[in-house]
Structure 1
Amino acid sequence: MSKTVPNTSINDATQKDDEIDLIALLLTLLRGWKTILTCALLGLALGFTYSRYVQPTYQTDTLLQIDEKSQGVAALGANISELVGEAKSQAETERELIKSRMVLGPVVDKLHLDLRISNPEIGALDRIAQSEIPTQISTEQGVFLDTKNGEAQITSFEVPLAYLNKPFTLVKTDKGFELSIEINEELTQYSGNIGTPTTIATPEGDIKLSVAALPSAGHPISLTKLSTPSAIDALSEKLSVSERGKQTGIVQLTLTGQDQKQVSRVLANVVQSYVDQNLARGSQQTTTTIEFMESQIPQLKQKLEQSEEAFNKFREQYGTIDVSKEAELLLTESSQIEQQLSELQLKQAELLTYYTEDHPLVIQINDQLAVLNARRQEIKDTVTRMPEVQREFLQLSQDMEINREIYLTMLKNYEQLKIARAGEIGYVRVVDMPINTYKAIAPKKLQIWVLALLLGTMLGTLLVFLKSLLRNTVKDPERLEAKTGVPVIATIPRSKTSFNLSKKKDSNRRLLAMVEHDGLSYEGIKSLRTSLMFAMPKVSKVATVLGSDAANAHKQGKVIVISGEAPNIGKSFISSNLAETFSQLNKKVLIIDGDMRRGELHKIFTVSQNSGLSDYLTESSANLSEFIHPTSFEFIDFMPRGKHPHNPASLLSTEKFGNMMAQLIDIYDYIIIDTPPVLAVSDAIITAQYADKVLMVTRYNSSIEGQLTYAVRQMNKSNITVDGIVLNDVVQGITDKYSYHYSYAYGNSKD
């Protein structure tokens, strides 16, 4: 029985790769700490600016209690209220009613919320500089705006439909004010007087404006008349209505704005408008009944007076008549029937106000009326059989009593309903009225600052990752060797002293031997010198190019061409210091500034750039020794770049340059040529034809891997072998994953 043994090596390798990737990501962030910090500080600055730009927002709230039962007609007792029924309201329904035009419309009209005035002279910088900008105040008397040049007060403003929601400009003049509006890029101006109502005739209709005060002359005020729907919508957006808890019947109204007193004033008016609407809605039943009674009472009174007048005339004519017992009983019963009929007819009239003829209550009352009418007809038939005088007396007496009962009953109910309406309070109770807290709810500056700082940090992190993905800089020598196929023969650490001197515009560049002779950078240059000494070919490339005779005379390689893929990578730094280290071996060294366009080696050796390489190659009869200058170093001579020629590459391709190189190898032990970048011009490729060693200088964490690789390929396409890469300006730190390539100095002790 065999067992399968898990391959732990693969898992360990995968885990190790994941750890390396995570470490690489962390190191990428650490290397980009400056970018992340800059973005974080920039985000914090933007957050601070935004918190200053946004004006403070204040809030106020109120609580309402919604009762479930109405107290309207119930004050009359069971007689009428039981016929009308109960009115119920829920918080969800009331919430929608509060934000309706029925409630908010009167508030907009009362407080002139459809008028908007602002100061156009307030700009973004003013909002940032000032912690709080004065805002519009709306009251029943008009709208107000305080400015540093005076107060603006508009009492009323009515415009035609065509001018709604369009801004006007008000400016104070010596005679009054000037009102202007821009329509279709045409400015139209009107004038008026301050302190008196003004009517302005326009093609679209009359503008009615009443201005009480304006800022001083020359300082405009922007004025806009909003349409009623726009003003109501603006108020509704700032008004929040919600129920406290679930099925509690407690509704909370919250209003926000930029002025605490204004917010409380508006919300108080919203509450009052809602309460008024609610009270009117709750007393509608009582009001309808009272209106019906008010229309019936005069008629009943007139009918009673007529019956009394007829009865009195009859008594005057016939005197008092002794009605028999039977007549009295009939009269009593008839009176009761008529009273019942009157009450039922009143109930029927009230029910028909709310229901149709087919309602069960209406049908029930109709049936009762039919029974009573039938009995009344029987009594009338009985009375008809009585003597004529008795019958007439009975009839008049009956009419008078019935009319009196009906009138008194109607008058009693009317007075009761008036008392009930006076005591009605609706089914909404104001629990808490709005109060001024003077505590801004926005902007929440601390939260804005923290959020802005986090967003800035996230943006900086994203930029670092994008930069790392899109711009692979030179960091890892092993990766560089794998991509280019060229060995990294030296890593030159950064010299802090030389780096600081290079930042000073008025300071000449100085060699490491003069400023930091015991530093890591100098030791790196010496290491490069050692590598080149033992790797120089036995046969000079110049001798090979120029012919066999030169090859027999000069067998040892001497020419070193130093180039790079782009400017500002330290070619001149490497060339000059390498020449100085060779001179320490008592070797006669010539350093040539082969960059005839932008060479700056003359600044390092403090030699004039004139009378150099370009001058020698352009002059037909020139003595080479006149263009080579001694330096402050005993074994170093220097040929500057000379005057800027029009065709540097063509000059390097001439036979004269080759002959110059043939002469120089007879004189010097080492010739170092500093050439322009490979990707910029072809000078380095032409010069490298005579080189015994071709070096590519690249800058740590600055040069692009792809550019360096492409530069090496360009050299290879021209049959030039790049012998080594010099990784310059290496900085060691906790973020350097490949710091083991860093050299260590073994200098003299300071003790």
Structure 2
Amino acid sequence: MTTDSPNTSKTTIEKDDDEIDLIALFFVLLRGWKIVLFFALLGLAIGVLYSRYVNPTFKSDAMIQIEENTQGIAALGESISDLVGSEASKAQTEAELIRSRMILEPVVTLLNLRIKLADPNISAIDKIKNDRIDTQLNTPEGVSLESEKGRVQVSQFEVPRAYLNRAFTLTQSDTGFVLNDGFDDFEGQIGKSHRFNGNEGQIYITVNELPEESYPITISQQSLKATTDSLNSALSVVEKGKQTGIIQLSMTGKSQEQVTNVLNQIVLSYIDQNQSRGSEETTKTLTFMETQIPALKKKLENSEAVFNEFRKEYGTIDVAKEAELLLTENSQIDTQLNELKLKKADLTTYYTNEHPLVVQINEQLAVLNSRQQEIDETVADLPELQREFLKLSEDTAINREIYLTLLKNYEQLKIVKAGQIGFARIVDLPISTYKAIAPKKLQIIVLALLLGAMLGTMLVLLKNLLRNVVKDPERLETKTSVPVIATIPRSPLLSRIGKNKHASTRLLTHVDHNSLSYEAIKSLRTSLIFSMPKQANTFNEMSASNQAVVNQRGKVILVTSESPNVGKSFITANLSEVLSQLNKKVLVMDADMRLGALHKVFNLSQDQGLSDYLSEGSSRLAKMNTAALASTTSDLDIESFIRQTGIDDIDFMPRGCHPHNPASLLMSERFAQLMTTLKAKYDYIVIDTPPVLAASDAIILSQYVDKVLLVARYDKSIEGQVTYAVKQMNKSNVQVDGIILNDVQQGLMDKYSYHYHYTYGYNKN
């Protein structure tokens, strides 16, 4: 329905405004392309330098498989597996174990990783120039480093705790080398081991090679914790996949050979520790058996000797059937008791008496002991001789069975230990690829370029935000309470001419008379004519009889600005030109006696202008009395200070030579008389003055004018400065009649382009 139409239109307008704002934002960035380009190139340069400054980083990988349990002992029989037990491990647990000092410390010791060598002669410029700097290489034989002057190798360097992480200087001398700790020099010979007595303790060092004489090398010994922490920071240990049992080890560093060597030793150190841990139970069981076998053998020999002696003395005894059965059962019970005691002795090496397995064995022992006691009571009823025979033969059989069983298990465990392996195995050992993984130079350069461009973009936007330049006429009117009476579009043709430094400034009527800019100047003329007071302002009260003369006096228009380079001289010259088209006599006065440049517009000289007229008149007036004041003007020829411009009905008074007191000259009686004379001679007087915030000239001249116009430049003048300039003039009781927004650029980038005026022009046909 129709009620929805306004909302729909409003939404459409808001969307259009948003789109135009984005386009305007794009053009803001386009205007600041030099800043964006500068920071982009700066970022590019930093990226290139950084990619060359940083040493390449290399990577080496290895892979280990973690098995769930070992199969070596179980394969020999259930009884041996029961004795030794089983072992299980998870990959995550082993990954943390690999990073422990138990694994890393042997590697640190083997490769002398605590020794650090550095070349202090390498500067940042050298790093950028060479693109890569050699780093130290650690081997079991020592630590070496290639320098510009030669190779350095140290196979031993140990310092007391007070000297840890402290840098020493090592240099070659005529007799060998000199080690300096910052206070003392220790001299030694190359290739020999030395022990020096320092202030904090003894220093051990063996130097095998050094660069040329007087070329210093920095050497230090790190603490063990610092070294292992450094290894851990470069080492990555993760399980590959989920519960696969495969551990991926990776190490990064500045030398491919170094990281491969270190990672290889870490893998070997872990496998050694794992294998030692896997055979630990077997070793303990063998040790226990080795202590028991000699005692059992001795016991067996003693029992056999006693039994043989008994048989020799009494001969063979025929035991009754019942006695044989009891003997057999008792023998079996003794065998079971000894096996349980052996198993209990083995278990008590790992567990306490409260462990469930130990308690269970104790219960079984109690049952067997009870049964054995019953058999003993039965056997006690047999004849004494038969009972002695049974006892001796039973002891001999039991001791032989125990000894043979233990000896058999001992030999089996020796076989197991010889072929036993850990539950971890090496899948891949590290290899050297010599392919750097960092820095990724192309990515760094592109990223630095983008970051630089982003920084430049942010600065352009921030600058545009902080400057808060003039763009919106309505906003400017709201802030200053002064109407914007004209918006002057930029003339593309005049802008192109202005880029030529040798080209003279031209009027629009000569170069671009069909442009919107020229029509906007004409519209400004119309606005001023209709808003001009019917009666000119005077600075002296006039009698009624002279009213007709007052009405005849010319209208004075003052053109100023809040700051330089906003185009007030352009407005002054072109406004004067369009006023002359009305067959009115116009005088253009350059009252900017400091930096006025209106003479260039009319191709005239600045000499003999306003400042010269006022200075010459002031010197003469100083010598005259008040009675002669009225005749002074006639004595001085005003015409000699006014130039013909070559344009009909337009005269020009240049600024003249630069005086030391422009404001004082404008406040003189001489200038007041000059204005009286000129207003009687010209229909319009257009005065170009210095900026309000730069000088007070505009405020002084405002008492002689009918209209005060303030020129602001689109996208350059600051809103705050324009507002402050208007306030400064209001404080001096000067009313600004209108603001002219100059150099407005037409295009999609400006959401306020509807302030342009359409123009009718003659086409080329």
TM tier relative to shorter chain = 0.7 to 0.9
* Counterpart in the other structure of 1:723: 737
1:330-382 Cα offsets, whole Å, 9 max, x none, are 99988877665554443222111111123343344445556467589779979
1:703-739 Cα offsets, whole Å, 9 max, x none, are 1223223322332343333233222222233322333
The AA in structure 2 aligned to 1:552 is V
Match of 1:510 among 486, 489, 505: 505
1:157-193 Cα offsets, whole Å, 9 max, x none, are 32222232344444445554444556xxxx6665544
Q: 2:313, 2:345 → 1: CA distance?
A: 38
TM-score (norm 1): 0.83
Q: 1:203, 1:24 → 2: CA distance?
A: 74
- The structural deviation recorded for 1:695 is 1.7
The alignment status of 1:417 with 2:417, answered yes or no, reads no
Q: 2:122, 2:107 → 1: CA distance?
A: 29
1:527-566 Cα offsets, whole Å, 9 max, x none, are 545655665545444x445756698367333433211111
Distance 1:178 1:381, change over 3 A: farther
Q: 2:408, 2:128 → 1: CA distance?
A: 71
* Counterpart in the other structure of 1:628: 641
SS at match of 1:113: coil
Q: 2:764, 2:184 → 1: CA distance?
A: 87
Matches within 5 A, 1:10-25: 10=7, 12-25=9-22
The alignment status of 1:477 with 2:473, answered yes or no, reads yes
* Counterpart in the other structure of 2:652: 637
Q: 1:668, 1:325 → 2: CA distance?
A: 169
SS at match of 2:672: helix
The alignment status of 1:161 with 2:156, answered yes or no, reads no
- The structural deviation recorded for 1:68 is 1.6
- The structural deviation recorded for 1:50 is 4.6
* Counterpart in the other structure of 1:569: 566
Q: 1:309, 1:391 → 2: CA distance?
A: 14
Q: 1:41, 1:480 → 2: CA distance?
A: 38
* Counterpart in the other structure of 1:688: 702
The AA in structure 2 aligned to 1:628 is F
Aligned partners of 1:168 and 1:222 also within 8 Å: yes
Aligned partners of 2:489 and 2:744 also within 8 Å: yes
Q: 1:600, 1:14 → 2: CA distance?
A: 49
1:282-335 Cα offsets, whole Å, 9 max, x none, are 1111011122223334555566677788899x69xx979743344997999888
Give the aligned length.
Answer: 735
Aligned partners of 2:171 and 2:216 also within 8 Å: yes
The AA in structure 2 aligned to 1:639 is P
* Counterpart in the other structure of 1:106: 106
The AA in structure 1 aligned to 2:419 is G
- Where structure 1 has 5 or more consecutive residues not aligned to the other structure, the ranges are none
SS at match of 2:687: strand
The alignment status of 1:675 with 2:689, answered yes or no, reads yes
SS at match of 1:32: helix
The AA in structure 1 aligned to 2:317 is S
1:671-730 Cα offsets, whole Å, 9 max, x none, are 332222212332211112212332211111111223223322332343333233222222
* Counterpart in the other structure of 2:424: 428
Matches within 5 A, 1:422-461: 422-445=418-441, 447-448=443-444, 455=451, 459=455
User: Which stretch shifts more, 80-89 or 322-331?
Assistant: 322-331
The AA in structure 2 aligned to 1:573 is F
Q: 1:306, 1:644 → 2: CA distance?
A: 140
* Counterpart in the other structure of 2:271: 275
Q: 1:18, 1:744 → 2: CA distance?
A: 26
Q: 2:339, 2:595 → 1: CA distance?
A: 118
Q: 2:186, 2:570 → 1: CA distance?
A: 76
Q: 1:376, 1:293 → 2: CA distance?
A: 31
The alignment status of 1:288 with 2:303, answered yes or no, reads no
Aligned partners of 2:17 and 2:751 also within 8 Å: no
Q: 1:150, 1:545 → 2: CA distance?
A: 98
Aligned partners of 2:20 and 2:748 also within 8 Å: no
Q: 1:550, 1:444 → 2: CA distance?
A: 88
Matches within 5 A, 1:337-736: 342-366=338-362, 371=368, 374=373, 385-386=384-385, 406-445=402-441, 447-448=443-444, 455=451, 459=455, 462-463=458-459, 465-495=461-491, 499=495, 507=502, 509-512=504-507, 516-518=511-513, 520=515, 521=517, 524-525=520-521, 528=524, 532=528, 536-541=532-537, 543-545=538-540, 552=549, 555-579=552-576, 590-601=587-598, 612-614=609-611, 616-618=613-615, 620-622=618-620, 623=636, 625=638, 628=641, 630=643, 633=646, 635-640=650-655, 642-645=657-660, 647-736=661-750
The AA in structure 1 aligned to 2:506 is L
The AA in structure 1 aligned to 2:655 is P
Distance 1:486 1:97, change over 3 A: same
- The structural deviation recorded for 1:605 is 5.9
Q: 1:284, 1:428 → 2: CA distance?
A: 15
Aligned partners of 2:327 and 2:390 also within 8 Å: no
Q: 1:101, 1:384 → 2: CA distance?
A: 71
User: Which stretch shifts more, 272-281 or 709-718?
Assistant: 709-718
1:385-430 Cα offsets, whole Å, 9 max, x none, are 339xx979995x8877766655554443333212211211111122
The AA in structure 2 aligned to 1:156 is Q
The AA in structure 2 aligned to 1:563 is T
Q: 1:130, 1:384 → 2: CA distance?
A: 105
SS at match of 2:685: strand
* Counterpart in the other structure of 1:739: 753
Aligned partners of 1:498 and 1:515 also within 8 Å: no
Q: 2:489, 2:193 → 1: CA distance?
A: 84
Aligned partners of 1:698 and 1:728 also within 8 Å: yes
The AA in structure 1 aligned to 2:693 is L
* Counterpart in the other structure of 1:70: 70
SS at match of 2:652: strand
Aligned partners of 2:612 and 2:657 also within 8 Å: yes
Distance 1:673 1:228, change over 3 A: same
Distance 1:435 1:489, change over 3 A: same
* Counterpart in the other structure of 2:316: 323
Distance 1:264 1:34, change over 3 A: farther
SS at match of 1:79: helix
The AA in structure 2 aligned to 1:74 is A
Distance 1:375 1:216, change over 3 A: farther
Q: 2:679, 2:424 → 1: CA distance?
A: 110
Q: 2:557, 2:475 → 1: CA distance?
A: 25
Distance 1:58 1:489, change over 3 A: same
Q: 1:189, 1:469 → 2: CA distance?
A: 64
Q: 2:165, 2:66 → 1: CA distance?
A: 37
Aligned partners of 2:509 and 2:518 also within 8 Å: no
- Where structure 2 has 5 or more consecutive residues not aligned to the other structure, the ranges are 621-635
Aligned partners of 1:473 and 1:703 also within 8 Å: yes
Q: 1:155, 1:626 → 2: CA distance?
A: 102
- The structural deviation recorded for 1:654 is 2.9
For the aligned residue pairs, the C-alpha RMSD in angstroms reads 4.3
User: Which stretch shifts more, 253-262 or 365-374?
Assistant: 365-374
Aligned partners of 1:544 and 1:551 also within 8 Å: no
